[in-house]
Amino acid sequence: MKDTAKDYSHIKGWGVDADPKNDPTYPMKHRNDGEQAGYSWERPPQQPTTVEVLHSIERPNVTAVFGTSTPPSGLSGMIRRIAFKDSESSYGHWLPLMLADRVNMVEGVLDDLMHGHVPNIVGELGWKAEWKHNRTKLVRRVLVRVALVSTAVAYLRSRRDDS
């Protein structure tokens, strides 16, 4: 490990009880001289930025590589851009991202429809597997939901008739 004692020689007793074996991060962390070197390593080449990449305000730059799977777009993208103005330690960051995810889900359905594709939501939910392996519970679940919706509709209709 780097000898930094001379930097603190004016402090009486500095480091006299230091014990490299007393390291709760062992063996996950291989200590080296990089401990106090800061952000000084030779960075890998930078991946060209061909899509919009949002980066945490807790770092100064975009990492050398990054994913390009699904750049921000539409209303959800606008919400994500706002979220990235706050730090990772803020609800102002994470809650808008959760909201954006839900908006993005609706955008996904609309995008499917605009491309002439009607999403097979039952198939996407994997209900074929439920039907094969868990039929009784699936049927019960569907019946309960149908009953709840029917009751709610009947209730609303009766209120409308009363008024």
Interface residues with other proteins (CB under 8 A)? 24-25, 27-32, 34-35, 37, 39, 41-45, 47-48, 50, 53-56, 58-59, 61-70, 72, 76, 80, 83-84, 88, 91, 94-95, 97-98, 100-102, 104-105, 107-109, 119-121, 123-130, 133-134
Comparison of 13 and 116: residue with beta carbon closer to other proteins: 116
Comparison of 10 and 30: residue with beta carbon closer to other proteins: 30
Minimum gap (Å) between residue 15 Cβ and other proteins: 21
Which residue do the tokens 């939501």 mark? 121
**Length of the chain in residues, anyone?**
163
Comparison of 110 and 153: residue with beta carbon closer to other proteins: 110
Minimum gap (Å) between residue 105 Cβ and other proteins: 3
Tokens of 7: 């930097």
The angle at the Cα of 29, spanning 46 to 59, to the nearest 5 degrees, equals 35
CA 51 – CA 65 distance, rounded (Å): 12
Minimum gap (Å) between residue 113 Cβ and other proteins: 13
Amino acid letter, residue 18: A
Strand blocks (E) in the chain: none
Minimum gap (Å) between residue 11 Cβ and other proteins: 26
Comparison of 94 and 155: residue with beta carbon closer to other proteins: 94
Minimum gap (Å) between residue 67 Cβ and other proteins: 3
Candidates 131, 130, 110; CA nearest to 119 is: 110
Candidates 84, 114, 120, 118; CA nearest to 100 is: 84
